[in-house]
Amino acid sequence: MVEPAADPFVVFQAWMAEATQTELNDPNAMTLATATEDGRPSARIVLLKAADREGFVFYTNTESRKGMELAANPEVALLFHWKSLARQVRIEGHAEPVLPEEADAYFASRPRISRLGAWASHQSRPLPDRAELKARLEEMQTRYEAAVPRPPHWSGYRVRPDSFEFWQDMPFRLHDRTVFTRASGVWRVSKLYP
């Protein structure tokens, strides 16, 4: 259970470290929920690439559906679910673009085929058939025989949290729910009924 005096960032790092040891695939997978300007929600799984007191970072095509929704409405929710630990963490906050040098550094660390794919894919747009994607990828392999620069439409976002909820499964559905909410720069903690 999460102690009331805990620091939400420290608790998250501890839970993530445990998940890294127990989850078979992608312990850093998180649901990202966005909404259009008029409030229509959508959710998808993305991968957490960095987490510290500044926030939670993921990368994507900024012209994708999520990128367009983030441009119109930067308020988001994240959800980590670690079935092996019977835990989940909900985070709500504001997404903002990472610095260009952060995006450049992460992009350069990706496998070459992934970097080429960022150029080849018109993410979230209709694809007539996979042959077109393959042809675009081959075109990018020819265009970028040496270094593959980061596309202008590919970057990262940092979610700066306003709230955390740590949920721990307990016997008889008497789950432990601890909420941290930021008010005037101070984290306030409370418990919720399961």
End-to-end CA separation in angstroms for the chain: 13
**Given this model, what pLDDT does residue 1 score?**
76
Domains of the chain with bracketed CATH = 8-104+152-192 (2.30.110.10)
pLDDT digits (tens, 9 = 90+) for 87-121: 999 999 999 999 999 999 999 999 999 999 999 99
Write b or e for each residue in 63-99: b if 16 or more Cβ atoms lie within 10 A of its Cβ, otherwise e: bbbbbbbbeebbebbbbbbbeebebbbbbbbebebbe
Nearest to 60, CA basis, from 151, 149, 175, 154: 154
Q: For residues 120 and 171, what is the distance between their CA atoms, to the nearest angstrom?
A: 49
Query: What is the pTM assigned to this prediction?
Result: 0.94
**Given this model, what pLDDT does residue 4 score?**
63
**Given this model, what pLDDT does residue 163 score?**
98
**Given this model, what pLDDT does residue 3 score?**
75
Is a pLDDT exceeding 90 seen at residue 126? Answer: yes
Sign of the four-CA dihedral 32, 36, 39, 40: negative
DSSP 184: T
Is a pLDDT exceeding 90 seen at residue 185? Answer: no
